[in-house]
Amino acid sequence: MRYAMIMAGGAGTRLWPTSRAGTPKQLTPFIHRPGGAVTLLDVAAERMDGLVDPARRYICTNERFRAQIKDRLPAFTDANILGEPAARDTVNAVGLAAAVLEKQDPDAVFAVLTADHLITPQDVFARAMEIGFSLVEEKADRLVTFGIKPTFPATGYGYVEQGGEITGTDSLGFHVARFVEKPELARAQEYLRKGTFFWNSGMFVFHAGTVMRLLEKYMPENYAGLRKIQEAWGAPEQQRVLDEVYPTLPKKSVDYAIMEPASEDRSVTICAVRMDVDWLDVGSWPSYAQTLAPDPEGNRAAPGTEAVMVDCKDSSVISSDPKHTVALLGCEGLIVVHTADATLVMPAEKAQDLKTLHEKLDDRLK
């Protein structure tokens, strides 16, 4: 049976000062629509409409966000929220979902989505996901990822190289020749020219049992802990065991923990489905700015922001206070974010370094 799990446990430090520890980016209503602002998690949840039954959709997030999620998305009951006692990177979020789903359904096939992406059009996304589900349902040993055609030589994304085409997929499915994690600029430029490389979207379709088997093989310590959690799931000791075991699981991303070693493992097959969509990973202020309409000089201001920009170019202003005017004069490539208790000013090119600044902040501002 088909399931979906949205990973929504990130801290969103590169979207500070709007994203905070108590209300991270996935729970911040700053994606503007005609009817009002919504959160990235709202968008991710509705993306599965028509693909997976609401009762079989899950969110994996930090336990402290449970109440906020239930308020915003009442369709997600306590049983559909996998609350992490501590953040342990993406392999453990995927592993927790696999452990829970395998226990209740040995044939569970689940999509792994994130609460970071804006994807349009919906019908193209849905068609690619349908193919991904079908590939794993045909053969449980397939690991499916989704490839996005690169539009620029990004150095912050992973890439997948296209191998042989998979028949019966409308020429969208292919075997993955190799993975490349965050290449340097020269290599990214080469990949863009070749046209056979795609951005690794961070979305997957897996068979729950296959994930558990590969964790036993590649990450035995994580596997042992997740098995303990699985055995206790649904029993009175469920929360106690989760709280005791989960924070001890070694951290690693799913790309490095599963996908990379699997590329050398003949017991599984890595496939990808081309997803010809407009895809935006809203993980930094420059990427968020892409959601805002530019003026002729490339300047952008979020709705509700009182901004005055003179002799400026490619600058963005985001403010939570419509009564506070932010004025820029003679600025180029600048990002200004104003909130009630903090204001960020930085060149857009320094956006990836915002985590370093975040580490130096007083805890009350994080």
Instruction: Report whether pLDDT(156) > 90.
Output: no
Domain end, chosen from 281, 303, 320, is at 281
Residue 10 has pLDDT above 90, yes or no: no
Residue-level pLDDT at 181: 82
Q: What is the distance between the alpha carbons of residues 208 and 330, in angstroms, rounded to a whole number?
A: 55
Same domain, yes or no: 166 and 224: yes
d(CA 281, CA 268): 28
Residue-wise DSSP of 128-193 = HHHHHHHHHHH-TTEEEEEEE--SS--SSS-EEEEEEEPTTSTT-EEEEEEEE-S--HHHHHHHHH
Co-location of 173 and 232 in the same domain? yes
Q: Count other C-beta atoms under 10 Å from residue 258's C-beta.
A: 28
Residues 313 and 256 in one domain: no
Q: How confident is the model at residue 295 (pLDDT cuts 50, 70, 90)?
A: very high
Q: Are residues 209 and 137 part of one domain?
A: yes
Q: Please check whether residues 301 and 275 belong to one and the same domain.
A: no
Do 68 and 145 lie in a common domain?
yes
- Same domain? For 203 and 259 the reply is yes
Instruction: Name which of 170, 24, 139 is nearest 87 in CA terms.
Output: 24
pLDDT at 36 over 90: no
Nearest to 117 by CA among 344, 281, 311: 281
State the chain's mean pLDDT as an integer.
95
How does residue 48 score in pLDDT terms, banded at 50, 70 and 90? Answer: very high
Q: For the residues 61-89, what does the mean pLDDT come to?
A: 96
- Name the residue among 257, 262, 250 with its Cα closest to residue 225: 250
User: What angle do helix axes 220-232 and 89-104 make, rounded to 10 degrees?
Assistant: 40
CATH number of the CATH domain containing 217: 3.90.550.10
Whether 88 contacts 112, CB under 8 Å: no
Confidence of residue 12 (pLDDT cuts 50, 70, 90): confident
Give the domain-ending residue among 262, 281, 300. Answer: 281
pLDDT tens digit sequence for 339-354? 999 999 999 999 989 9
Mark whether 148 and 267 lie in a shared domain.
yes
Query: CB within 8 A of 71, min separation 6: which ones?
Result: none
Task: Assess whether 220 and 136 both reside in one domain.
Answer: yes
pLDDT digits (tens, 9 = 90+) for 201-247: 999 999 999 999 999 999 999 999 999 999 999 999 999 999 999 99
d(CA 109, CA 112): 10
Nearest-angstrom CA–CA distance, 15 and 288: 9
Same domain for 29 and 160, yes or no, is yes
Across residues 29-45, what is the average pLDDT? 92
Query: pTM for the full model?
Result: 0.92
> How many structural domains comprise the chain?
2
Q: Select from 250, 281, 312 the last residue of a domain.
A: 281
Domain of 292 in residue numbering reads as 286-365
Question: Are residues 197 and 84 both part of a single domain?
Answer: yes
Same domain? For 259 and 350 the reply is: no
